[in-house]
Each structure stands twice: as C-alpha cells, then as structure tokens.
Amino acid sequence: MYKSSSSRVVPIVLILIVVAIAIAVLVSVGRAIFGGNSSQEASKVDLGSESLLNTAVDRSARMTVRGPLVADESFRSYQIAIDSSSRRLTTYSGYLDQTIESVQLGNNTRAYEELVYALSRANLMKGTELDGDKDDTRGICATGQVYEFEVLQGNSVIKRLWTSTCEGSPGSLEASVAQVQKLFTDQIPDAQQPLANINL
C-alpha cells in the first residue's frame, strides 16, 4: 500500500516541476519579445538626446518655421541653424525658398554647448517621431504656423520633431514651442528685424 501511494506521488511531482519550468521559460521569452520594443524606443529617444548634447564639429540644431499656406508670392518661412562655429538666420519667400535676407554670425563650442544644454532642459527632444503619413507636414495647419526642430550630424537628420499652432495638428513635439523658439532666436542679435519683415 505504501509503495503504491509513493509511486503515484512521484509522477505528479515531476509533472509539476516540468510545468513550472515551462511557465518560467514562457515568461522569459515573453519579456525578451515584448520588452525589446520598449528598449528600442528608449534607445531612439536617448540617441536624439545624446546627439543634441554632442558638441562635435559636425553636429547642429535647426529650427524651421513655416507661415500660413497662401499664394506663392505671399508665402513666408524662416530657418535658424546653430552649430559650434556658426549661427545662421535665413528668411524665405515662396515655396521654393527664395532667400529674402540672411544673417550669418560666428560661434564657439562653449556658446553652442550652453545652447544645446538649454534646449535639452527645455525638452527639445521630448516627443516620439511619427511615421509615414502622420509625419507628413504638407498641408498641415494651413491657416497657422508649423515649427520643425531637428538635430543633425552633418547633413543627416538624427531626430526631427514638429508641431503647429493649429489644435488639430499637435505633431510630435511635446516641449513648449515658445520657450524653444526663444532659445533659437536669442542666438541671433536683432533677429526680430528680419522676422518682422516677413510678418511671422
């Protein structure tokens, strides 16, 4: 009698051990599969932040502001690009970006470093880049302004976020536009004059 009850318990214990091991393996595989995406997204965000704070010669930060969508003759936009050796403000007329006025000034690594750290603290890299049609700004906010912010390495965009003044088109940027825009425009003394000339 004792032998038969013992012989029944041993297979049950073995089955329970096998089930426990199988569950542990499934949980581990699940974490590896589903946890991988979140770590990839985090690394993408970190890459943007790291690139912003990198003050190497080939790094830069750029803001482009587009006005309301009107006739080609009346359409206006402007761009401010900053790197460790230069600061540039360019105003444009028309959709083919005909230059109206360009201001180019020198810069230095320390000044650039202060700017990019200020941009980082203002959450310039806060936001998730959109994909496909959701990231297409053509025709977006036809009656208002569209703001694009980019971190570049050479001519390659590392991360690009955008937003607009229209409620229905919030874009991907989650930072305060007014705060970030002021940090860019303050890098160009008397920037308000050329900006006033294009009425943006």
Q: What is the pLDDT of residues 85-119, one digit of tens each?
A: 999 999 999 999 999 999 999 999 999 999 999 99
HEC states along 24-72?
A: HHHHHHHHHHHHHHHHHHHHHHHHHHHHHHCCCCCEEEEEEEECCCCCC
pLDDT at 162 over 70: yes
- The label of the residue with tokens 């502001």 reads 65
The answer as to whether 36 is a domain residue is no
> Does residue 81 surpass a pLDDT of 90?
yes
Is residue 29 one of the residues assigned to a domain?
A: no
Asked whether residue 1 is assigned to any structural domain, the reply reads no
Residue 8 lies in a domain: no
175 close to 90: Cβ distance less than 8 angstroms = no
Vertex 46 angle, CA 56 and 185, to 5°? 60
184: nearest Cα among 89, 108, 99: 89
Q: Are 69 and 136 contacting, i.e. CB atoms less than 8 angstroms apart?
A: no
Q: Is 125 within a domain?
A: yes
| Continuous segment of H or E residues that includes residue 16 | helix 2-53
Q: Residue 15 — very low, low, confident or very high, per pLDDT cuts 50/70/90? A: confident
Question: Under a CB-based contact definition with an 8 Å cutoff, are residues 85 and 57 in contact?
Answer: yes
What domain range includes position 153? 59-198
Q: pLDDT of 25-69, one tens digit each? A: 676 666 666 554 444 544 445 677 888 888 889 999 999 999 999
Segment 11-33 shows an average pLDDT of 71
Structural domain count, the chain: 1
* DSSP string computed for 183-195: HHHTTSTTTHHHH
Residue 150 CB partners (closer than 8 Å, separation 6+): 61, 62, 63, 64, 157, 158, 159, 160
- Answer yes or no: is 20 within a domain: no
Mean pLDDT of 159-187: 95
Residue 21 has a pLDDT of: 81
Average pLDDT along the chain: 87
- 7-21, 94-108, 118-132, 155-169: least confidently modelled range: 7-21
pLDDT over 80 at 158, yes or no: yes
Whether residue 17 is contained in a domain is answered as no
What band does 160 get if pLDDT is binned at 50, 70 and 90?
Answer: very high
- d(Cα 82, Cα 103) in Å, to the nearest integer? 12
Distance CA 31, CA 169 (A): 35
pTM value?
A: 0.76
CA angle 139, 142, 145 (to 5 degrees): 105
188 has a pLDDT exceeding 70? yes
**What per-residue confidence (pLDDT) applies to 47?**
77
Residue 63, pLDDT score? 98
Q: What is the pLDDT of residue 200?
A: 81
Q: How far apart are CA 82 and CA 27, in angstroms?
A: 48
CATH number at residue 79: 3.30.1560
- Would 161 be classed as within a structural domain? yes
The answer to whether residues 116 and 83 touch, using CB atoms and an 8 Å cutoff, is: no
**What pLDDT, on a 0 to 100 scale, did the predictor assign at position 55?**
87
